[in-house]
Each structure stands twice: as C-alpha cells, then as structure tokens.
Structure 1
Amino acid sequence: MIAFVNGILDEKRDLQAIIDVGGIGYNVNISAYTADRLPSKGEPIKLYTYMSVREDAMNLYGFLTRDELDFFKLLISVSGIGPKGGQAILSVMTPDDLRFAIVSGDSKAISKAPGVGKKTAERLVLELKDKISDDDILSGKAGGNGENISVPGADEPSNEAVEALVSLGYGLSEASRAVRKVIGDGGAAAEDTEGILKLALKELI
C-alpha cells in the first residue's frame, strides 16, 4: 500500500494530479474539494492516498489531510459506494458538510453528488449516522481551512434560527452550517434568534 506521496506538483488536470516523486510521476485521482486547494505547478505537495485495486485497474486517490482520507474510507464502506462515488461526494461536499448532513439525516444534500441517487444517499445516512459523534461535529474537525471552529451547544436561539431557515426552503445541513458559522464568528448580533438569522442569511445568499 502507498500511504502517501510527497513530491512536486507536475500537472493538474480535471480531477487528477501528477506528483513527481524522485523522477517518477504518480497519477493521483482527487476530488474537486482537494483540487481547489492544490498548490501551483512546481510547488511541493503531500497527498495521503488510498489505493484501489481491481482485476483491470489500480488507482490512487489522494487527499490533503488524513481526516479527508479517513472519511473517504468511511464512505466507500457503504454498500453501493465505490472509490469513484466517494470521490464524487467529496467533490460537492466537504467532510465537515457531510458530517452535518449525515447526523441531520439530510440525504437530499448528499444525493446532489453525480452518480449518487436518493436511495444510495439514504443508505449512506443510515449506515454512517451512528459512526459520527457530536464531538466530531462541534470540533469542526474537518473544516476546509484546517482550523477548529468553536461552536456552543445547541441552544434555543440557534435551534430557532435553523428551524426558520429550513422553513424558508434551505436544507437542514445547509442551515445548520450557516448558523454554526455565525456563532463561531461570535458578536453581540448573534446572541438572539433574530440576530443569528440575519447573519446566517447573509452567509447563504
């Protein structure tokens, strides 16, 4: 198994990165989420990898953090979701977004990934819900900027703001994420339901 590749980014095209490691080019499949955060061509890069081995092909899938890799492995443990499906899901949702969607039962958000139907998304939520802890959600463990996001417990104003956003047509995970962002930023305006709601709407618009 190849645990990671550490070298120079030689080329990036679509959802693939070619990493030059000591004169050998490794072709690594990446998600859109990872692609957006890659350095410029010629710069150093380290990708944590998963090797998919089939009778007709061997493919490397790469991620910038171990947490992304661990979540990818969690996704492909679900029946009906292979490496390409896991990559597709991580292309439209960050690991942190996925944690919210799974815990809140928002299979609709997950089904937006290419090739992931409604039934597959519902099965994913069902199979993984018990594997995601509240601590994982509140810690912002898989935040895209690598920083922890301090979020207080689910108090009444926060819940009311989420409910209001859902009533306006936003998905539960989307609404929860916006409210969490507002609370994480702090500020007096976010101390009551109305203040939280106004700031959360700005995040969503």
Structure 2
Amino acid sequence: MIGRLRGLIETQGDDTVIVDAGGVGYLVYVSAHTLRKLPQDGGASQLFIETHVREDHIHLFGFFEAEEQECFRMLTTVNGVGNKVGIAILSVLTPAQVMTAIAAQDKNAFRQVSGVGPKLAERIVVELKDKAKGIALVAPTTSKGGKVATGEHAAVSDAISALINLGYNRSDAYTAVQRAAREKGVDKVDDLIRFGLKELAS
C-alpha cells in the first residue's frame, strides 16, 4: 500500500493530479482544498495517500494535510459516503468545518455538497456525533495576515460552550458565535459571547 507520495506535480485536473515519483506518474484524486495548496505544474510536493483497491481498479486519494486524511477516513465510515463523496465534502468544507458541523448537528452544512441529500446529511451528523466530541477544531477564521489564527479557534470553541451552558442548543450557539466572528470580526471569548447573545436575542 502507498502511504505517501513525494514528487513533481506534472498535471492538475479538476479533482486529480499526476505526481511524478521516481519516473512513475501516479494519478491521484484530491479535494479542491488540497489542490489549492499544491504548486503549479512542475513544482515539487508531497501527499498523504489513501489507497483503495478493488477487483477492477486501484484508486489513490491524496491529501496535503494529515488532518484532512483523518477526516476523509472518518467520513467514509458512514454508509453512503464513498470515496468520491468524501472528496466532494472536503472540497466544500475544511476538516475544521466538518468537525464543527458534526458537533453542532448542522445538517445544512453538508447539504451544500453535490451528491449529499437530506437523508445522507442527517446520517453523517448522527453517526459521527460521538467521534466529533472532544475535538477542538472549529471553522477557521483568518488573521490580518491571512493566516489561520489558532488562538481564535479556542476562543470560538469556548464561546460556543459558554452559550450551551447558558441553556442554548448547540446548533443555535454555533451559528450565533460563527456569525459574530465572521461579521463582527471579534476574536475574544467575552466579545464572542456578548455578540452571540445579541444574535440569539434578535
């Protein structure tokens, strides 16, 4: 089995790349998230690989980050989420957004993905709920430099927990805090709670 590929990115398609590793060109399926992080044709990179073997084919699925690979593995444990659907989900949602949507039981987050209907979206959030517990990943916000600010992740997570402790349901708390972070640009726990409460009261 192939666990990792390092080589030159020869060709990029809509959801595939060809990686030249040791003179052999490997066709690898990737998400839009991974595709955006790869260098232009001819640049060197590496991918974490999931190898899926069937009687009539061998498919390689590549991930720029290990957390995306772990998220893919988790998603594909759900009946109805095959490899292609798993990649489609990760093309629309980042791993952090997937985990947060599951924790918030936010079915609509998955319904925006092509190939995921209402029944499958519900199955995803229900079947994976326990696996998302205790994971502190949240939908990423960006700092002024454009990079994800990890301190903001913790603040959003803490604010959501605080609203839940005040009696609000997880989905409403998640939506209110995310909107406060996105639209108000706040990144401190107290401010997120304050704006979140205003959002919930409106």
Q: TM-score, normalised by structure 1?
A: 0.76
Is the 2:88–2:113 contact (alpha carbons within 8 Å) kept by the matching residues of 1?
Answer: yes
Structure 1 counterpart of 2:90: 90
* Structure-2 change in CA distance of 1:194 and 1:183 (3 Å): closer
Gaps of 5+ in 2: 141-145
Is the 2:176–2:196 contact (alpha carbons within 8 Å) kept by the matching residues of 1?
Answer: no
Q: Distance in 2 between matches of 1:139 and 1:92?
A: 12
- 1:116 maps onto 2:116 in alignment: yes
Amino acid at match of 2:56: D
Residue deviations 1:122-145, cap 9 Å, x none? 0011110100133433696xxx96
Amino acid at match of 1:148: T
| Aligned residue runs from structure 1 range 1-205, under 5 A | 1-137=1-137, 148-150=150-152, 151-152=154-155, 153-154=158-159, 175-180=176-181, 182-184=185-187, 186=188, 190=191, 193-194=194-195
Is the 1:158–1:179 contact (alpha carbons within 8 Å) kept by the matching residues of 2?
Answer: no
Q: Distance in 2 between matches of 1:126 and 1:156?
A: 20
Q: Distance in 2 between matches of 1:24 and 1:101?
A: 39
Q: Distance in 2 between matches of 1:75 and 1:56?
A: 24
Q: Distance in 2 between matches of 1:17 and 1:105?
A: 33
* Structure-2 change in CA distance of 1:57 and 1:147 (3 Å): farther
Counterpart secondary structure, 1:7: strand
Structure 1 residue 44, shift from structure 2 partner: 1.1
Gaps of 5+ in 1: 199-205
Q: Distance in 1 between matches of 2:111 and 2:134?
A: 23
Q: Distance in 2 between matches of 1:146 and 1:191?
A: 17
Q: Distance in 2 between matches of 1:197 and 1:174?
A: 12
Structure 1 residue 61, shift from structure 2 partner: 0.4
Q: Distance in 1 between matches of 2:15 and 2:52?
A: 16
Amino acid at match of 2:150: N
Q: CA RMSD, aligned part only?
A: 3.2
Q: Structure 1 residues 53-62 or 130-139, which shifts more?
A: 130-139
Structure 1 residue 103, shift from structure 2 partner: 0.6
Q: Distance in 1 between matches of 2:175 and 2:8?
A: 36
Calculate percent identity across the aligned residue pairs.
33
* Structure-2 change in CA distance of 1:192 and 1:146 (3 Å): closer
Counterpart secondary structure, 2:100: helix
